[in-house]
Chain A
Amino acid sequence: MLTCDGLRLAQDDFALRADLRLPKGRVTALIGPSGAGKSTLLSALAGFLAPVAGHIAWDGVDLTDLSPGARPISILFQDNNLFPHLTVAQNVGLALRPTLRLSNTEKAQVAAVLDAVGLTGLGGRKPGALSGGQQSRAALARVLLGDRPVVLLDEPFAALGPGLKAEMLDLVRLKLAGPERLVVMVTHDPDDAKRIADDVVVVADGHAAAPVATAALFDHPPQALADYLGKRVG
């Protein structure tokens, strides 16, 4: 379980409060208007933004003072998820060893995970030689290989077309989601949430609400979500 206790974030004149309990084994979507602080919350969870107050913990272990690399967390950003000068296999291999010197066993692991995301035989290419969808698969492969219990997705598929995006979300559901793992994804599209999320956290008005089961939430949206959905349509 990922917990945020009295978490307060501030950046310039922006502020966000969060008290959350996100259980493992679920896919949770953060939804809300632009600038509400979804990405900021994710940054804090990943360790890029030190909170003004409060604590972040995983299974009772306080993470607040840990550096990003030391947390049991993987994250995918909107862009720059792959080093353009490294091959796909090297990029994926970074999940095992930040030295690029892999043993034969580890190389086999990389090949296996590339197979799993549908990139068989493309390990020798550089990201520039891949399509957008393939680049996303490569990034997912690295997360998969890293096998950390928490995965944060900061709209990594936003630049893909609707079909490809759906394909990637399905891949996340299929490969990443599991009984021992928590997946937290930022989205501004209710359809994304409906597609793969078990729970939804509404982030609006400087506050992150408690998670609510996806179906229940969209059947009876709270005021903040209704405003956002309405605005989006209008």
Chain B
Amino acid sequence: MARGAFAVTPRWPGALTGALVLVLTLGTLAAVALRAQWDGGLSTADWAAIRFTVLQAVVSAGLSVLLAIPVSRALARRRFAGRQVLITLLGAPFLLPVIVAVLGLLSVFGRGGILNAGLGALGFAPLSVYGFHGVVLAHVFFNLPLATRLILQGWLAIPAERFRLAATLNAPVGRLLEWPMLRAVGPGVFLVVFLICLTSFAVALTLGGGPRATTVELAIYQALRFDFDLGRAALLACVQFSLCAGAAVVVWRITGQDAMGAGFDRVVQRWDRGRAIVDGLAIGLAAIFLLVPLGMIVLRGLPGLGDLPASVWIAAGRSIVVATISATLCVSMALSLALWGGRAVAVIGVLPLAASGLVVGTGAFLIVYPFVNPARLALPMTALVNATLALPFVLRSVAPAVAGIQTDFGRLGAALGLRGWAWLRIAVLPRIARPLGFGAGLAAALSMGDLGVIALFAGDAQETLPLAMYRLMGAYRMESAAAAGLLLLALSLLMFWICDRGGRVDADM
């Protein structure tokens, strides 16, 4: 019986969400393109930017996925005290605002960082982090946690019975179970990380060491702000979407589907847990790589925490409200799309990843401006755009769970006449509490850290925490800014933890 053969929930919420995502991604692009005066195409510098962008994204994504494999395998088959805390903490870099993470990274790997201090003490020449390798390092720092989490889900989705079977047959687990899983899950994870790196801007420039490291997103920024050439900006955004579409087609060809299990975060009982030292090394190195820069952010932030100006706390409160709204919105959108189902959803689900934040913001501004003063919409727009940008991640977490419920219980629900809201409330929501909580936490944290949209729309009265932090930096107040960064880190993690935790309560099924 094909699932979805009988619709138990109305289709309009999914269609509405789909339309909204299309307006915010392709619609904003069209709005920019329509305002453009077209003269000339892309320059050689633009093409250089495209080449660099693709190259760094491929290397960064490849490395993130490769490194995530041993880490996620170790986390999947080892049980140790603090494992859950570690997994949550490992997620932090992904949730951080770029500038906070970059400064944390540099206090470890930079010229004045602890790594070079150590090397200097041992009499070695200092290492420079700036350059292509710096860009890759930063992108791996941001995306290794995400890749680890996604592959970990794949690992945990292999039923324990299969490991039992493999153990009784004395069969090679790697070739029999793990390789097929990695083949199914790996390309999808690669795609997600690739797309994130594709739209990188500040990281690439700051750590790239110079204009060599110009990405498409920076070229878009230049076109919009420096040259006021909307046509070129639109063209570059099209290139970005084409690269996304191309990569997605390649990945779907390889995997045959948008394969991504939800899985539960439990340790699967296994019988092949050979070399503990290898797993320990994988987890230890990843923890050092990811947690030491986080520790530096904490250390840098602590001194200024005591006398943070009141406005920063107010901004933090505002950010929490926006993040909560954004997370609610994002989860509703993901749920409606997941209930809608189908291939169109897979496409809509990756579109926001390829969207240029600048073009989305500018396009939204152009769409809204004739009707309302954009400053008045700053916070709602921020919540909406952030919800849309987080949608791909949340959808990935929620959609497989919803599909599973339709398969397992769709007929029972239909036979009992459970439709619409009743079906959602009684059958779906309680059963997807975990992925929903995880998704809500992710959306909330991502929204906390966002600076892009608010900076474009904000007037005075709507300062969010990242904006407040940036304004402190702009006013020479680096110590307060570092403290605001620490506050941001703590609040992002806290919001993520609360949502993630909320989804686990009462999870006996």
Contact = CB atoms under 8 A, between A and B. Distances in A.
Direct A–B contact in the complex, CB atoms closer than 8 angstroms = yes
Interface of A: 43, 46-49, 67-70, 73-75, 77, 80-81, 83-86, 94-95, 98-100, 126, 128
Of the candidates B5, B408, B415, the one having the most CB atoms from chain A within 10 angstroms of its own CB is: B415
A127 to B, nearest CB: 9
A94 B416 contact: yes
Interface string B482-509: 0000000000000000000000000011
A75 B426 contact: no
Given A68-B414, A69-B418, A128-B509, A100 B5 contact: no
B431 interface: yes
B55 interface: no
A98 B414 contact: no
Contacts of A126: 508-509
Nearest 4 CB-CB pairings of A with B:
A69-B417, A68-B414, A85-B430, A98-B422
A85 B412 contact: no
A69 B415 contact: yes
A83 B422 contact: no
B111 interface: no
Nearest to A95: B416
Interface in B406-427: 408-409, 411-412, 414-419, 422, 426-427
B310 interface: no
B431 A85 contact: yes
B415 A83 contact: no
B96 to A, nearest CB: 35
Contacts, number: 67
A98 B418 contact: yes
Interface in B55-108: none
Contacts of B426: 83, 86, 94, 98-100
A86 B427 CA distance: 9
B414 A83 contact: no
Contacts of A77: 411-412
17 contacts: A48-B1, A48-B414, A49-B1, A68-B414, A69-B415, A80-B408, A80-B411, A80-B412, A84-B509, A85-B430, A85-B431, A85-B509, A86-B426, A95-B416, A99-B426, A126-B508, A128-B509
Contacts of B422: 98-99
A94 B427 CA distance: 11
B163 to A, nearest CB: 22
A68 B412 CA distance: 9
B5 to A, nearest CB: 7
A43 B414 CA distance: 12
Contacts of A48: 1, 5-6, 411, 414
A85 B333 CA distance: 24
B409 A83 contact: yes
B509 A98 contact: no
A70 B417 CA distance: 7
Which interface class (under 10, 10 to 19, 20 to 34, 35 or more) fits B?
A: 20 to 34
Given A80-B408, A100-B426, A128-B508, 16 more contacts: A43-B1, A46-B411, A48-B1, A49-B1, A69-B415, A69-B417, A74-B415, A80-B409, A81-B412, A83-B427, A85-B431, A85-B508, A86-B426, A94-B416, A99-B422, A126-B509
Contacts of A75: 411, 415
Given A94-B426, A126-B508, A128-B509, A68 B415 contact: yes
Nearest to A81: B412
A138 to B, nearest CB: 13
A69 B414 contact: yes
Interface of B: 1, 5-6, 408-409, 411-412, 414-419, 422, 426-427, 430-431, 508-509
B1 A69 contact: no
A67 B414 CA distance: 8
Nearest to A46: B415
Nearest to B506: A85
Nearest to B431: A85
Contacts of A43: 1
Nearest to A43: B1
Contacts of A80: 408-409, 411-412
Of the candidates A77, A83, A86, A128, the one having the most CB atoms from chain B within 10 angstroms of its own CB is: A83
A67 B409 contact: no
B5 A98 contact: no
A74 B414 CA distance: 11
Nearest to A50: B5
Nearest to B418: A98
B414 A47 contact: yes
B506 to A, nearest CB: 8
Nearest to B430: A85
Nearest to B2: A11
Contacts of A70: 417
B416 A69 contact: yes
Nearest to A99: B422
Contacts of A49: 1, 5
A131 B299 CA distance: 55
B419 A68 contact: no
A46 B509 CA distance: 27
A174 to B, nearest CB: 23
A110 to B, nearest CB: 14
Contacts of B430: 85-86
Contacts of B509: 84-85, 126, 128
B405 to A, nearest CB: 10
A3 to B, nearest CB: 21
B1 to A, nearest CB: 6
A86 B431 CA distance: 10
A99 B430 CA distance: 14
A126 B507 CA distance: 12
Contacts of A83: 409, 412, 426-427, 431
Contacts of A74: 415
A126 B1 CA distance: 28
Nearest to A40: B1
Contacts of B418: 69, 94, 98
Given A48-B411, A68-B6, A128-B509, A98 B1 contact: no
Nearest to A126: B508
A74 B6 CA distance: 17
